[in-house]
Each structure stands twice: as C-alpha cells, then as structure tokens.
C-alpha cells in the first residue's frame, strides 16, 4: 500500500499578521496509522520542501502522543522537510490520498488545479481520498466527469461553523468549510464541536476536526485493504 499525504504550503493567516499552515495532529496521527498498516508514505505540498506548521498546533494543549512521537522521529521529520511538489505526483502511483488540514489549505490547496486534478483522478480510478478538518474545503473546485460539483449529493463533513467561531476566525478565513460544502450540494452533517466524526460516501472520506484525523485514516486503510484497491 502506497499513500500520499498532501499538506499546505500557505503560512499567512489572512491579513492578521499571524502564521498558519498545517495542523500537526492531522499529519502525525494519520502518518502513524498508515505506517502501522505497512504503508509506504509520500508527503507532498504545492511548493515542495518544508511545509509551514501552524504554530498553535504545537502548543502544549494541542500536543498528543502522536505529535510528540512525530517530532522525535528522524525519518518522519526528514520526510516532512523534503515534501515533493504536488505538480510532480501522479494519482496512478498511489493506492490512496489523504489531505491534512489546518487553515492553510483554504488559501492554497482549495484553489490549486493540480490538487483538484489529483483528487478527481484518484476517485475516478477507483481509489479512496480522505480529507480532514479544513481539508474538505479543498473539494470546492473538484468536479465529476459531467462537470457537476464532486460533493453534490454526497455525505460530507468538515470543520464546523461553530468550531470556526470558537477559534474566532470566522471573518478571517476566505470561506467557511461547512457553508462551502453545503453550497456545493453536499449533504453536510457534524457532531459536537471537537469530537471525532468521520463520514464515508463511496471512496470519499471526510473528517470534521483534528480529533477525526486518526479515525479518518483508519477508514481510508479499511477501504484500501478490504476494498481490494
């Protein structure tokens, strides 16, 4: 099994002067789920190289056993420092694709044509795609073969409006994940703020928030291993 994990290259939190990027738990938890399932893992980002880490995600209150393990893991940190460029990857080389969240993806990956093409190609070739927290917003420009929004009529979740309000970034982000998925015709649902919630609709897996990253990875592994991909 070969899994591609896609991360943001964007580090500016709107015009606040603050930094953003990917959320560490949403990389670390899936990374070790995939590794323990025997997967070969490749990390990619739009610009390649070291992606920006959202500094908040590494504050003591947000650290987990997985994040501490990742930061102390030379193999993992080397892979993170040397992500491949997204425009250099091919869907045909992987059995599954997973998108980690953080606020960064709302600015770059959500508008990235290489990202949209990767998601569309992966799903059309019968392979699963997982996206967690803010990463489901990356689906905003993805389409089915008939040109309709990819999420139309699909059960999806992602970072809830109430969660965005709780972190006081509703007026800073370029769009709200919940609103965007709903506008595109997705059947959006959620659970209580900050609790794990994962939906699977065919080959598309979405998770609501950081706590959903490990179970979303588990769902992706199940699709690959039990689906005979």
Q: What is the DSSP string of 123-179?
A: HHTT--EEEETTGGGGGGG-B-TTSSBTTTT-EE--S-HHHHHHTT-TTTSSS-HHH
Check residue 140 and give its pLDDT. 97
DSSP one-letter code for 222: H
Check residue 228 and give its pLDDT. 46
Q: At 204, is the secondary structure helix, strand, or coil?
A: strand
Q: Is the pLDDT of residue 229 over 80?
A: no
The whole-number average pLDDT for the span 138-163 is 98
Short-list 209, 138, 211, 137, CA closest to 167: 209
pLDDT in tens, 20-74: 999 999 999 999 999 999 999 999 999 999 999 999 999 999 999 999 999 999 9
Model confidence band, residue 226 (pLDDT cutoffs 50, 70, 90): confident
Handedness of CA 164, 192, 108, 19 (dihedral sign): positive
Q: What percent of the chain has pLDDT over 70?
A: 99
Which tokens in the block code for residue 82? Answer: 């040397």
pLDDT in tens, 209-223: 999 999 999 999 999
Short-list 1, 50, 41, CA closest to 21: 50
Whether residue 106 contacts residue 136, with contact meaning beta carbons closer than 8 Å, is answered with no
The whole-number average pLDDT for the span 99-127 is 98
Could you give the C-alpha distances from 165 to 21, 88, 150, 156, in angstroms and in order?
Answer: 19, 36, 27, 20
Handedness of CA 145, 149, 151, 152 (dihedral sign): negative
Query: Which fold would CATH assign to domain 2-227?
Result: Rossmann fold (3.40.50)
Q: Is the pLDDT of residue 135 over 60?
A: yes
Handedness of CA 10, 41, 91, 200 (dihedral sign): negative
The whole-number average pLDDT for the span 149-165 is 98
CA angle 72, 78, 82 (to 5 degrees): 145
Q: Is the pLDDT of residue 156 over 80?
A: yes
The whole-number average pLDDT for the span 166-190 is 98
The domain spans of the chain are: 2-227
The whole-number average pLDDT for the span 66-94 is 97
């Amino acid at each position: 099994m070969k899994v591609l994990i896609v991360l943001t290259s964007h580090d500016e939190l709107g015009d606040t002067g603050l930094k953003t990027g990917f959320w560490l738990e949403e990389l670390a938890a899936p990374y070790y789920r995939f590794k323990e399932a025997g997967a070969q893992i490749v990390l990619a980002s739009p610009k390649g190289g070291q992606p920006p880490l959202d500094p908040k995600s590494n504050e003591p209150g947000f650290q987990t056993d997985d994040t501490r393990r990742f930061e102390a893991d030379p193999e993992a940190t080397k892979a993170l420092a040397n992500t491949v460029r997204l425009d250099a990857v091919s869907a045909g080389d992987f059995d599954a694709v997973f998108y980690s969240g953080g606020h960064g993806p709302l600015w770059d990956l959500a508008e990235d044509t290489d990202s949209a093409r990767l998601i569309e190609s992966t799903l059309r070739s019968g392979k699963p795609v997982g996206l967690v927290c803010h990463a489901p917003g990356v689906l905003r420009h993805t389409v089915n073969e008939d040109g309709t929004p990819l999420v139309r009529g699909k059960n999806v979740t992602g970072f809830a409006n109430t969660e965005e309000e709780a972190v006081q970034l509703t007026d800073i982000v370029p769009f709200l994940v919940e609103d965007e998925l709903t506008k595109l015709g997705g059947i959006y649902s959620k659970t209580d703020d900050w609790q794990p919630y994962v939906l699977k609709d065919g080959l598309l897996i979405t998770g609501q928030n950081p706590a959903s990253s490990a179970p979303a990875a588990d769902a992706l592994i199940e699709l690959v291993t039990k689906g005979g991909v």
